[in-house]
Amino acid sequence: MTKKQKTSKQNEQDHRPFRYQSLHERLNNININVVHRIRYHDTNDLQDTDNLIRTSYFHQSLAHWSTLNFSEAYSKIYQKLLPLANSLEQVVYNREQIILLIRQSLNEYNPLIIETLLDLIVQLARDLQSDFYIYYKQYLFIDIINLLINSKKQQQNEINTQLLEQVFQCLTYLFKYLWRIMLKDLANLYELYTKYLFSSKIINTLTTNYEYIRSFAAESFAYLLRKIENYQSFIDYLFNTTERDENELDSLALVFSETCKNVQSTFHSCTKSLLLCLLKKIIEKPKVIHLCIKKIYLLLIQHTNKQYVEILWNCLMNIYRTINPNNIND
């Protein structure tokens, strides 16, 4: 007779299909990485017909959600949007009316259609491209962030983790599809992020779990920064144009560290270029840059291990040799 094997309490919990998760667990399980995610609306899912030229991603998204979202709220906005979006030409022509309807629905903060509306925004951006970016800068970005503020008011300070994930997935998808346009306006876009997500003034406005929001904001913005070919001009702008308070420096360190991080304790290919540009700046702004670099290195050291840490040391030594050429024994 074989002895019955004991099942540990931990194993029981791991195999339960539904179990209570603390707020900390739910926040840590959020994934906003969209780089390798495959969605129903990717180009290879479109039919290869003559209608492809006239088909809009926004129209496809409307149809897609009509089979998934049966709420009364979505039914109402669907009936209003569909006549405006039967073709790409219609979407472009009716873009202001479409955006107005979406904004009105967003501002109602109906949890039954928020995910749907955020996806519609992403698909509209794919259709409109540079025309969409104007509206994004003026008010759509603020409308999206206001979802988090309204969430705080309704949830009595406890963050809505599902909404948090949806919001930052939306922002990251917008980076993914509009990055060429956004890179041309990177400084203004960063200031928009700073004002509504990184500024010390916004901490109490958003949530008691502000650190998580700032972390996801940094991760989403890092997607865009990895596309930069030359970091020096952007870094010069950040540290030459205005004085950054300590909270903004913390946010900058988070953004730069997220830009450098890669999977499995490794670093992104942009790491060396980014760190060298930052370290060069230490000659001009020693106090501010030293504080920022210290924070960045602490975050990167926590991310990596001894197998991959060499690049961090090499960047430091490279700059040290430049500053003190006579004090280095090769």
For the entire predicted model, the pTM comes to 0.80
Instruction: Give the C-alpha separation, 74 to 65, whole Å.
Output: 9
In this predicted model, what pLDDT tens digit does every residue of 261-282 receive, in sequence order?
998 999 999 999 999 999 998 8
Q: How confident is the model at residue 37 (pLDDT cuts 50, 70, 90)?
A: very low
Among 27-36, 281-290, 294-303, top mean pLDDT goes to 294-303
* Whole-angstrom distance, CA of residue 240 vs CA of residue 9: 56
Q: Which residue type sits at 126? A: R
Mean pLDDT of 301-319: 93
- State the pLDDT at residue 325: 62
Q: Is 15 helix (H, G, I), strand (E, B) or coil?
A: helix
What count of residues does the chain have? 330
**Class of residue 30 by CB neighbours under 10 A (exposed 0-12, middle 13-18, buried 19+):** middle
Least confident of 30-44, 86-100, 160-174, 241-255: 30-44
pLDDT confidence bin for 312, thresholds 50/70/90: very high
Average pLDDT over residues 184-193: 91
Residue (of 162, 142, 140, 141) closest to 151 by Cα position? 162
H/E stretch holding 27 = helix 23-28
Angstrom distance (rounded) from CA 105 to CA 120: 12
Radius of gyration from C-alpha coordinates of the chain: 23
- Banded model confidence at residue 1, pLDDT cuts 50, 70, 90: very low
Residue 157 has pLDDT above 70, yes or no: no
Query: Token digits for 198?
Result: 């990184």
Residue 329, pLDDT > 60, answer no
| The pLDDT value given to residue 165 | 87
- Please give the pLDDT value at position 55: 79
**Predicted local distance difference test score (pLDDT) of residue 22:** 54
Identify the pLDDT of residue 217.
87
Is the predicted pLDDT of residue 16 greater than 70, yes or no? no
For 168, the token pair is: 């930052």
